[in-house]
Amino acid sequence: MEDHNKLSQIAPSSSPTDIEAPQRNPQDDQQHENDDDVVDYTQRAQWLRAAVLGANDGLLSTASLMMGVGAVRKDVKTMILTGVAGLVAGACSMAIGEFVSVYSQYDMEVAQLKRERKEVNKAKLPNPFYAAAASTVAFAMGAVVPLLGAAFIKEYKVRLVVVVGVVSAALIGFGVLSAVLAKASVVKSSSRILVGGWLAMGITFGLTKSVDSIGV
């Protein structure tokens, strides 16, 4: 009996209520919230990148194509038909290219997650269908700009000037949008994309004119 009392004095009594529950760290919760924000932003950035790139390509490639044809053919019908053909071909090309590219990225990320034995959450993976759709619609919208600029002007020289003007204004708009999204300098971003657009249209116009002049 005495031994039992001694053991009772040595061993402190404990109950489930005496065990302290692990405390949650507010910093951990904040970190999880930040991680969710990053994932959401990345998901939105996938189609946003495709849309901005598609619109810029549609604008510039269609305008350059129209300027190239306009260097040798002065009638508005040929110029417009060339632009429409460029719109359709470019939109299909962008859709297929973006779909294949993003789907390849999707397959690689799924394979990597399986190798690491992690759960595959498709909502956080790149969606090739969204990217292809955004790229196609944006390309078509960008290509419409030079078409509208040239459609209602019969005078050849005035038509070329108007196409260059509306395309330049749209390029500046894309430069401002890119600068805002990237939090970069608006002047530098707009200048880069504007000069690049002028070079593309100028080179296409000049080379087509040169090839036509030598009778090829």
What is the helix, strand, coil percentage profile of the chain, to 5? 85, 0, 15
- Which residue do the tokens 């292809």 mark? 132
Residue 105, pLDDT score: 81
Residues contacting 48, CB < 8 A, separation 6+: 134, 181
* More confident: 33 or 82: 82
pLDDT digits (tens, 9 = 90+) for 31-64: 544 444 444 455 556 666 777 788 889 999 999 9
Lowest mean pLDDT among 9-13, 69-73, 95-99, 152-156: 9-13
How far out from the chain centre does Cα 205 lie?
28
Residue 196, pLDDT score: 92
Residue 36, pLDDT score: 47
pLDDT > 90? residue 167: yes
* More confident: 15 or 124: 124
> In the numeric block, which tokens belong to residue 8?
């009772």
How far out from the chain centre does Cα 86 lie?
21
- Per domain, the residue ranges of the chain are 44-208
CA angle 136, 179, 135 (to 5 degrees): 5
Phi-psi group of 13: left, alpha or beta (phi > 0 → left; psi -120 to 50 → alpha; rest → beta) = beta
Q: Output the DSSP codes for 190-206.
A: HHHHHHHHHHHHHHHHH
pLDDT > 70? residue 85: yes
CA 42/CA 213 separation, integer angstroms: 50
Residue 19, pLDDT score: 47
pLDDT > 90? residue 200: yes
Question: Is the distance from CB of 201 to CB of 63 less than 8 angstroms?
Answer: yes
- What average pLDDT is seen over the chain? 79
CA 141/CA 174 separation, integer angstroms: 13
pLDDT > 80? residue 3: no
* More confident: 141 or 46: 141
The pTM of the full predicted model, rounded to 2 decimals, is: 0.70
- Three-state DSSP at 12 gives coil
Residue 184, pLDDT score: 83
